[in-house]
Amino acid sequence: MKYILVRHVETFGNAEHRLNGHTESDYTAFGVRMKEMLVDELVALNKKIPFDEIYVSPISRAYKIGEAVAERLDRPFTPDDRLKEFNFGIFDGLTADEAMALDKKMWDTWMDDYNHVTLPGGENYTDYHNRMSAFLAEHAAVHAHKNVLIVAHGGTVHSLLVNLLDLPLQSKWHFNIKLGSITVVDCPEGFGMLEALYTPDYDSIKLNP
């Protein structure tokens, strides 16, 4: 049983350093090329690790990648709301400077204890992390002896990864989950082992001037 965890590719929100949680954001021109390369990589990976199940975040920057992979493989896929990115509430879609201008006191309070402070209209990281844990627990019996592809977000992949490796929440910062990255976790008998964490060769992408 293996989990293949995939982060979406570059969007304008990423390029502009925005706190894009539930806020939609289109791919940049570079992101469009990244998506093409990532889908090709995942289709090739399916030959080595056949995907039995495909789950996706319903947010379009992740959904479109899962949808394209499923179409290429002629497989069904399942959107799941729990795989959405962290909800930044009143700060969602803003840059850090914009968020501080909106509510500096709330920003400072959140920064002091982001794992437990719930943002107005949003959530806190502990609840978010527990949501990922519940997702994994619910599907554990179904996923036994199956390989599961999950296409989602940086926060989602971080949380799923440390849950699968049975590590504390703060250990997520030891893993650099880059845009368009692929993380493979092998789970024999439910014991998670990190098998691979890599990105396709996005540096080779050349955009027309």
Q: How distant, in Å, are the alpha carbons of 5, 7, 39, 146 from that of 28?
A: 22, 15, 16, 34
Task: For residue 56, list its beta bridge partners.
Answer: 79, 151
In the annotation, is 85 catalytic?
yes
Token digits of residue 105: 């006191």
61 labelled binding-site residue: yes
10 labelled binding-site residue: yes
Token digits of residue 166: 């049975």
12 labelled binding-site residue: yes
13 labelled binding-site residue: yes
Q: Are 173 and 159 in contact (CB under 8 A)?
A: no
Helix (H, G, I), strand (E, B) or coil at 201: coil
Q: Are 157 and 84 in contact (CB under 8 A)?
A: no
Helix (H, G, I), strand (E, B) or coil at 11: strand
Catalytic residue chosen out of the listed positions 17, 41, 67, 85: 85
Length of the chain (residues):
209
Residue whose token pair is 């107005």 = 120
14 labelled binding-site residue: yes
131 labelled binding-site residue: no
Catalytic residue chosen out of the listed positions 8, 129, 143, 153: 8
Residue whose token pair is 């590719």 = 9
26 by Cβ neighbours in 10 Å (0-12 / 13-18 / 19+) ranks as: exposed
Could you tell me which residues are annotated as the binding site?
A: 7-14, 61
The residues annotated as belonging to the active site are: 8, 85
Binding residues for substrate: 7-14, 61
